[in-house]
Structure 1
Amino acid sequence: MPFRKMLRLPLISTLAASLWLGGCTAQVKPTSLQGEAPAQPGLSMCGTLALPSQWRPTENNTSVPLGGLSAMAWDPDDNLLHLVSDRGRVHQARPVLEDGRLVDLRPLASHRLKAQDGTPLEGKAADAESLVLAGADDGVTGNTELLIGFEQDHRVQRFALDGMPKGEPLRSTASHNAGDNESLEALARVPGIGLVAGLESPPDDMNAQDGVRHTLLFSLAENATDTRRWHYPLASPADSALTELLALEDTVTETPPRLLALERAFSPPRPLTISLSLVELLPPPQVRVTRLASLSAGEGWRVDNMEGLARLPGGEFLMVSDDNFSALQRNLLGCYRLTDKALSLSTLDLPVPTAGNATAR
């Protein structure tokens, strides 16, 4: 959503990639997210791309707009990155890593999201903000479906890759008290739980706890019943807002499910700050949060309105920005790695949350 107040590729060999690339895809340019900022413990950058405002996917007849990128997800069966725009468009692209660095993003296809009658979604109905995939890791190629979360018209809708909707949308009473532009910004599929959604900002009926603003995470069963809700403590920078959740577990484990959370804080004259946190889902409404990194423009980070996360098969993470189709902002796709230590939590030295509270450290 807008600012308020204002891979290692299995299908491409090194030789083939070198011959095919010969340089970045037209208008995709390397840049730096870190700039002159000091290094963050446990986090290292592996390349950043500045993306154009228009591009020409190989499967499309004409150029299409590229912007408002609010969510993305990696498709392991088809070796594709799916990106969603909050103007109601979905793109398929292929990231390329060389020598461990992100060097290109190859656009393959782009489609408008559509209503049941086949007409493109417009206005509030098109405000897509979050994404998970179905059928993307079953060993079958070509059967991936998109589950997209929308704000303003709060719902999760299933789509085919060509943008046609499938079935009825899922809606939840948990979003009833969310602001129009502060709803289903985050969505993850968590083994053993199912879909877990996160509201961007605290709903109207959720008060701060001990001076800490909390927002709501909730399970969203595909039969439209809500079973679990968690209170997520937002990061300390003023006006921090949750923009993405990414499940880190591939299968059900005996440890609490873990997610990576992305937050954005923009409250002028304070600098734009992007926060990354590790989240453990404990018995509701409790969560345990470990802050991993704080990327502040005030310290030299060249961040923008970062809203989407994806994890590549080599262990790299991607982070994408929503430029709001503004000439003052940028489409950025950044690659980074987190150390094993940063992603490995020992519960032995962590405080035990009390009922109804969340613990952050």
Structure 2
Amino acid sequence: MRDSGSHKSMDHKDNLDAEGMAIDGDHVLVSFERDHRIATYPLDGFAESEPLKVERPLKGAYTLRGNGGLEAILKSPDDSTIKGAIVWVAERSYNKDGNFIAGVQSGPQKGIFAIERVAPYDVTDGVFLDDGTFLLLERKFGLTDGIGMRIRRFKGEDIAPGKTVSGTVVMEADFSHQIDNMEGLDAFKAEDGSTHLIVVSDDNHSLIERNLMLEFKLVE
């Protein structure tokens, strides 16, 4: 990606802070925080391409933090209740009730909603499944709470402007397991028809963190 589409200086961190990615047909959507935006690239040759378009998160009565704002970006199924719309979820930006700010960029449920936050976790990524539910990957990282990851599952049909959506825990792990700073999540169908999840970590160029790729089978 040659140009992130930021209106700010090309050599500024704001222009480089890509957080999430989703495939939408023959396009790649990338979310950026700090200078919050969603950039659309062609799937074919996206690594060397400039953005085809750039859009801002929906306006509303909320504030996205500079570092901790626009994070996860999800493409909903075309036959879901939100009709293939793009959904985004903030990492550490909360509404007045302390829940994650989220938005639907288009379609019949276009608007701002909230995801229930269950502390001390914050959002790092998400993905829709074929049945219209979606998963959010969350992490905790600190001296007090330790290191942990959690995946929660939500019903896409619960999404509506102004509503707070609650989910159920699919899995939770701490540093007694083989995890690290888990930041990426995707899903795919295996040959036997089961859903598998891929979870990845980022070492952040740190000597005490690792790049990991973990694969799980989702048990219904």
TM-score, with length taken from structure 2? 0.81
Tell me the residue number matched to 1:308: 184
Cα gap change, 1:244 to 1:320, in 2 (>3 Å): same
Deviation per residue, 1:37-64 (Å, 9 max, x gap): xxxxxxxxxxxxxxxxxxxxxxxxxxxx
Cα gap change, 1:289 to 1:226, in 2 (>3 Å): closer
| One-letter amino acid matched to 2:115 | Y
Report 1:53-72 matches (<5 A).
Answer: none
| One-letter amino acid matched to 2:51 | P
How far did 1:201 drift?
1.5
Asked whether the 8 Å contact 2:4–2:15 carries over to 1, the reply is no
Asked whether the 8 Å contact 1:154–1:175 carries over to 2, the reply is no
| One-letter amino acid matched to 1:235 | V
Cα gap change, 1:330 to 1:199, in 2 (>3 Å): same
| Structure 2 counterpart of 1:189, from 56, 70, 75 | 75
Asked whether the 8 Å contact 1:113–1:121 carries over to 2, the reply is no
Distance 2:55 2:114 in 1: 25
Asked whether the 8 Å contact 1:175–1:199 carries over to 2, the reply is no
Tell me the residue number matched to 1:138: none
Tell me the residue number matched to 1:266: 141
Cα gap change, 1:122 to 1:332, in 2 (>3 Å): farther
Distance 2:105 2:96 in 1: 22
How far did 1:288 drift?
3.3
Any idea what SS the aligned residue of 1:200 has?
strand
Any idea what SS the aligned residue of 2:183 has?
strand
Any idea what SS the aligned residue of 2:205 has?
coil
Tell me the residue number matched to 2:153: 278
Report 1:66-105 matches (<5 A).
Answer: none
Unaligned residue ranges in structure 1 (runs of 5+): 1-111, 136-143, 251-256, 341-361
Distance 1:174 1:304 in 2: 35
Distance 1:295 1:175 in 2: 35
Cα gap change, 1:207 to 1:115, in 2 (>3 Å): closer
Q: Which has the higher contact order (CA 8 A, sep 6+)?
A: 1
Tell me the residue number matched to 1:170: 56
How far did 1:229 drift?
2.7
* CA RMSD across the alignment: 2.5
Tell me the residue number matched to 1:114: 3
Unaligned residue ranges in structure 2 (runs of 5+): none
Deviation per residue, 1:290-321 (Å, 9 max, x gap): 11111111xx1131111111112312210011
| One-letter amino acid matched to 1:313 | K
TM-score, with length taken from structure 1? 0.51
| One-letter amino acid matched to 1:318 | I
Deviation per residue, 1:203-244 (Å, 9 max, x gap): 3xx233xxxx4112210129xx982332211234x2x11111
Asked whether the 8 Å contact 1:235–1:263 carries over to 2, the reply is no
1:230 is aligned to 2:106: no
**Number of residues of Structure 1 aligned to a counterpart in Structure 2:** 201
Identity %: 22
Distance 2:153 2:34 in 1: 28
Distance 1:145 1:120 in 2: 23
Query: Which deviates further from its counterpart, 270-279 or 150-159?
Result: 270-279
Asked whether the 8 Å contact 1:235–1:275 carries over to 2, the reply is no
Tell me the residue number matched to 1:123: 13
How far did 1:175 drift?
9.0
Distance 2:113 2:65 in 1: 18
Deviation per residue, 1:161-193 (Å, 9 max, x gap): 123211233342259611101111111111342
Larger-gyration structure (1/2): 1
How far did 1:258 drift?
1.0
Distance 2:90 2:154 in 1: 15
Tell me the residue number matched to 1:243: 124
